[in-house]
Amino acid sequence: MRKSSPVWLRAVATLLTVSLLSALGFWQLDRARQKRDLHALFTERLEQAPLDLSLHDTVPLADEAWRATRAYGSHGTPTFLLDNRIREGRVGYEVLSSFTLADGKRILVDLGWVPADADRRDVPRIELPPQALALRGRLAPPPSTGIALGPPSPPEEVGPGLWRIQRVDFAALGAAFGTEYLPALVYLDADEPGGYDRAWVLPAPDDGKHTAYAVQWFSMAGAVVIIFLLSLRRRANAGRIPE
């Protein structure tokens, strides 16, 4: 007959398991709180007055994500095609222009999405507004391109002044082209002239999934406790002397 493990050993194992599962549950609750705080900040910035990009030396642009912005300058090269951008089930590119501000500093402007040809050698023809202009958009971090494994791939030249890239790395692009890009990107407003498909999807609150995960972890912790208590009850019943 197999000898059962001592009660104290099972109690310790149960305590450790419950502690771990509970910690995971509280971690997911904290993630949910962070997501709510982030969305509250996003909502607040939607209401703020547009930020003039000429103030980039005094305002940290990376800390102003999703705030409306305005700038005066001109589009130019290099122009980038950000690869593997999916829109309604179709593969395409997001077109990023190098926008030069009045003081000579550059910032990437996302002009919108264009479809990609099945033949990778064929790239869309990109046209940029030739004259200096005032533009309106919204500051944002670079588009998400999944988990980065290792350094970014070097830009691939696919036309005069046109380069294909796999992800946006401001420092790497600046080093490759001998310039400095401000550490933020501007999504061009949908009603601005020029550009391409700009059906931007703004961040939405997604704290619900973390709350659901927390409930799962806490439920598992509760189930472990119940299993342990039932085992104690069976052990007590097995050792009881019949009358």
The per-residue pLDDT for range 66-92, each reduced to its tens digit, is 888 999 999 988 999 999 888 888 899
What one-character-per-residue DSSP string does 199-237 give? --------THHHHHHHHHHHHHHHHHHHHHHHHHHHHHH
**Which among 181, 43, 172 is positioned nearest to 109, based on CA atoms?**
181
Residues 6+ apart with CB under 8 A from 164: 80, 81, 83, 93, 123, 155, 156, 158
Query: Domain boundaries in the chain?
Result: 7-41+206-238, 67-188
Residue pair 181/108 in contact (Cβ under 8 Å)? The answer is: yes
In this prediction, residue 5 has a pLDDT band, given cuts at 50, 70 and 90, of low
Residue that the structure tokens 């927390």 belong to: 214
The per-residue pLDDT for range 53-70, each reduced to its tens digit, is 888 888 888 888 888 899
Contacts by 9-13, CB closer than 8 A, 24 or more apart: 10/228, 10/231, 11/228
Predicted TM-score (pTM) of this structure: 0.69
Can you say how many angstroms the Cα of residue 24 is from the centroid of all Cα atoms in its chain? Answer: 22
Report DSSP state, residue 121: T
The per-residue pLDDT for range 217-241, each reduced to its tens digit, is 889 988 888 888 888 788 777 665 4
Angle at 173 between CA 97 and CA 106, to 5 degrees: 50
H/E stretch holding 243? none
Does residue 167 carry a pLDDT above 60? yes
Provide the pLDDT for residue 148.
Answer: 58
What one-character-per-residue DSSP string does 127-180 give? ----S-EEEEEEEEPPPP-S---SSPPPPEEEETTEEEESS--HHHHHHHHTS-
